[in-house]
Amino acid sequence: MPKLIREILREIFINLLGNHEENAEHIERFMLSGKREFEAAINFLSTAIRVTIVKDDFLVLFPTGPHLIMSYNCVLLKTILNAIANSIDQLEFRKKPVAAVENIVFETLIVEGLKSILFYPGHEVPPK
Q: Where do the domains of the chain lie? A: 2-119
Label residue 2 by pLDDT band (50, 70, 90).
Answer: low
CA atoms within 13 A on the CB side of 67: 11
* pLDDT given for residue 126 in this prediction: 52
Question: What is the tens place of the pLDDT at every residue in 46-105?
Answer: 999 999 998 888 999 999 888 999 989 889 999 999 999 989 999 998 888 888 898 999
Q: Over the range 52-67, which residues count as b (16 or more CB within 10 Å of their CB) and which as e?
A: bbbeebbbbbbeeeee
Beta carbons of 88 and 53 less than 8 angstroms apart: no
pTM: 0.86
Residue 27 has pLDDT above 60, yes or no: yes
